[in-house]
């Protein structure tokens, strides 16, 4: 089963971390550790997630090669084997490159694609709208917009999102904005949810610490780096289910229970801490937690979390 419309964009979708083998002394061309990835996928499916998203930001999309990118998507689809839906990362700040990537993905399977906005070149709103309309018209794929201004310096405004939601192929939004930054992001998100509710369009949170907030605003799910940790994935799944039942206090308690997992996952720039959690190197220029400022402290914090709250990860450190 694969997602074909916005109503299916609900629940918890881990943005799958890409584990590597430490087989290149220069750490430039490490190979993908697919055996480790199998264990990760099995654990997440057993935790009850709604789907899996390979090769997003958390999956080291910025540093894998084009071939590796497609190989990871194919492997994930083959290994998941229909147990849960798969959403493929396929974005670029180059419209032509993104079109070609989506077309290559479609040769593997017809799956929805998550596409980021114009990082580095920082296009105008008109440029962003043309970008996504081109992806839609030239590929026919189901597209989820990834709005993450903290990484791209490119914020998709509500007017642009509302306009794009009218395109039948653009079915959703991953809204990765921190409500703590200011009221604007909160108000913009409320407006987008309200003014797209009659379209085939869903809004998912890209901020793990604000999952309950997004659900309360009318959002439908979470695309999560933290949910790579099976214990955290289970908490988020339980939170989503509790929200559907109207169990407000349980939702608050579960969001609180997720806090230590979220803080550990983002104690350094994502996906650096996940590299430590899964005992994996990262492609340069990303470096391990221990190589960052006060790295020993961060590594100790992560290992403490694993011992006390995420024992499923101990197998990666045996």
Q: What is the pLDDT of residue 1?
A: 77
Compute the average pLDDT of residues 83-96. 97
Q: Which member of 146, 155, 185, 240 is catalytic? A: 146
> pLDDT by residue (tens digit) across 249-296?
999 999 999 999 999 999 999 999 999 999 999 999 999 998 888 889
| CB neighbour list of residue 314: distance below 8 Å, 6 or more residues apart | 306, 307
Residue 199: how many other CB atoms lie within 10 Å: 16
* Least confidently predicted of 17-21, 78-82, 117-121: 117-121
The number of C-alpha atoms within 13 Å of 287 and in the hemisphere containing its C-beta is 6
Answer yes or no: is pLDDT of 297 > 80. Answer: yes
Q: What is the pLDDT of residue 202?
A: 98
Domains annotated on the chain, with CATH: 6-245 (3.20.20.70)
d(CA 23, CA 30): 6
174 is catalytic: yes
Task: Please check if 58 is assigned to a binding site.
Answer: yes
Predicted TM-score of the model (pTM):
0.97
Answer yes or no: is pLDDT of 191 > 70. Answer: yes
Q: What is the pLDDT of residue 181?
A: 58
Answer yes or no: is pLDDT of 310 > 80. Answer: yes
> pLDDT by residue (tens digit) across 36-75?
999 999 999 999 999 999 999 999 999 999 999 999 999 9
d(CA 3, CA 51): 9
Compute the average pLDDT of residues 142-146. 98
d(CA 155, CA 169): 21
**Nearest-CA neighbor of 113 among 80, 77, 146?**
146
Answer yes or no: is pLDDT of 228 > 90. Answer: yes
Answer yes or no: is pLDDT of 178 > 90. Answer: no
119 is catalytic: no
Q: Which member of 36, 142, 174, 234 is catalytic? A: 174
Q: What is the pLDDT of residue 179?
A: 65
d(CA 85, CA 114): 13
122 vs 16, 188, 281, CA distance in Å? Answer: 26, 19, 30
Answer yes or no: is pLDDT of 180 > 70. Answer: no
Cα end-to-end distance, the chain, whole Å:
35
**Strand-pair partners of 114:** 89, 144
Q: What is the 3-state secondary structure (H, E, C) of 199-228?
A: CCCEEEECCHHHHHHHHHHCCCEEEECHHH
pLDDT-derived band at 33 (thresholds 50, 70, 90) equals very high
Answer yes or no: is pLDDT of 182 > 70. Answer: no
The rounded percent of the chain whose pLDDT value lies above 70 is 98
User: In angstroms, how far is CA 193 from the centroid of its own chain?
Assistant: 19
Task: Please check if 156 is assigned to a binding site.
Answer: no
**Strand-pair partners of 173:** 145, 203
Extract the tokens encoding 81.
């084997």
For all residues of the chain together, what is the average pLDDT?
95
């Amino acid at each position: 089963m694969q997602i074909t419309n916005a109503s299916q964009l609900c629940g918890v979708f881990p943005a799958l971390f890409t584990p590597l083998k430490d087989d290149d002394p220069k750490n430039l061309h490490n190979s993908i550790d697919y055996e480790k990835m199998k264990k990760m996928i099995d654990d997440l499916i057993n935790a009850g997630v709604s789907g899996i998203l390979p090769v997003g930001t958390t999956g080291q999309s910025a540093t894998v090669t084009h071939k590796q990118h497609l190989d990871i998507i194919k492997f994930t689809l083959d290994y998941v084997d229909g147990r849960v839906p798969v959403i493929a990362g396929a974005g670029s700040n180059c419209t032509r490159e993104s079109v070609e990537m989506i077309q290559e993905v479609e040769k593997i399977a017809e799956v929805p694609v998550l596409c980021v906005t114009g990082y580095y070149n920082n296009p105008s709103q008109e440029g962003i709208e043309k970008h996504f309309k081109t992806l839609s018209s030239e590929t026919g794929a189901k597209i989820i917009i990834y709005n993450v201004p903290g990484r791209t310096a490119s914020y998709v405004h509500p007017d642009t999102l509302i306009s794009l939601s009218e395109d039948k192929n653009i079915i959703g939004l991953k809204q990765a904005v921190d409500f703590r930054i200011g009221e604007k992001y909160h108000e913009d998100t409320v407006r987008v949810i309200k003014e797209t509710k009659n379209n085939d369009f869903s809004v998912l949170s890209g901020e793990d610490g604000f999952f309950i907030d997004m659900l309360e605003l009318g959002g439908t799910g979470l695309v999560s780096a933290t949910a790579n940790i099976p214990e955290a994935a289970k908490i988020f799944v339980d939170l989503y289910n509790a929200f559907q039942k109207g169990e407000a206090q349980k939702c608050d308690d579960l969001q609180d229970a997720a806090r230590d997992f979220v803080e550990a996952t983002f104690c350094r720039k994502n996906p650096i801490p996940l590299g430590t959690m899964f005992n994996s190197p990262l492609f340069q220029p990303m470096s391990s937690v221990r190589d960052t400022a006060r790295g020993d402290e961060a590594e100790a914090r992560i290992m403490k979390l694993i011992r006390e709250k995420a024992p499923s990860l101990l197998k990666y450190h045996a």
